[in-house]
Amino acid sequence: MNSQARGRLTAAFTDAGTTGALHAIDIDTGAALSLTADTPVSTASVHKLCLIATLYREAAAGRLDPTTPVDIPAAGRAPGPTGLAVMRDAARLSLRDLASLAVAVSDNAAADLLWAHLGLDTVNATMAALGLRRTIAVHNQADLYAAMVADTGDTGPAALVEPAAVARLSVLDPARTNRSTPKEIATLLTAIWRDEVCAGPWGEELRAVLGVQTWSHRLASGFPYDDVRVSGKTGTLPTLRHEAAVVEYPDGGRYAIAVFTRAASTAATLPAADAAVGRAARIAVDALRSRSGTA
């Protein structure tokens, strides 16, 4: 069954003009399905999962109060296409509301305020404490953008679809940027849903925050049903389209899935590549459900 499913996964990625890596886990039985799941990957904004998990683990340990307000000046915010990154006026939000923005619309400015409050070392130490030693952050969102500018010569967004410029991007190289593996990211989600990151009300709130993402064009597209819940985080950089999420069925089935893809084309808009993330996730979940007799 796993061999057949892996063949279908490879075909789903190939048909979309991408290569892909995936790890899926049945949260309750531990059964798993992998496709090159130990391969290091550039995580892009999927690494915000690590950031938010650390915030709530620190809260559960009593080391911070997530209701702490943060004053946000109008200037000096991390760049990005959504949220506080494009807003023009000063604001004041709590740490946990910044977390909601970082997940809901992948707000880079909100995420960087959390990075500044927690520190990269704390996030990395949290991942190591959870046994995720290949999940490492080396820069925040502002530094990630600065690296892209440095690599492309500050020629603007047009450079990010020019093949020669994209080939120079250090943020696409897992050895030089925020990184993990599909297996470790799916394992992190499994730990969150098993209350192993933090338990009680903080664990419940963490899962609720991860359920507010607005994007439905990737992993959620594989589960177009009103009674199936998808909670997770996308990640996007030139040629990279990722998502990691937990899919919850009305019969109680719960599945953590991490899908990382890289497209051959440098085009910014590739609907087939986005859809392949959802298609692959569905193939993996169907295989796990078939194995457990719940399909």
| Residue pLDDT, tens place only, 113-161 | 999 999 999 999 999 999 999 999 999 999 999 999 999 986 667 788 9
222-252 pLDDT, tens digit each: 999 999 999 999 999 999 999 999 999 999 9
Task: Residue 244: name the closest of 228, 256, 253 by CA.
Answer: 256
Q: Are 261 and 246 in contact (CB under 8 A)?
A: no
- Cβ–Cβ under 8 Å, residues 47 and 234: no
DSSP character string of 224-273:
--TT-EEEEEEEEETTEEEEEEEEE-TTS-EEEEEEEEEESS--S--HHH
- pLDDT tens sequence across 267-283: 999 999 999 999 999 99
- Beta-carbon neighbour count of residue 286 at 10 Å? 16
Q: Compute the distance between CA of residue 247 and CA of residue 236 in angstroms, rounded to an integer.
A: 20
Instruction: Provide the whole-model pTM.
Output: 0.96
Which two tokens mark 292? 């457990």
Q: What confidence score (pLDDT) does residue 1 get?
A: 56
Which range of residues forms the domain containing residue 174? 2-292
Report the number of distinct structural domains present in the chain. 1
| CATH number of the domain residue 144 falls in | 3.40.710.10
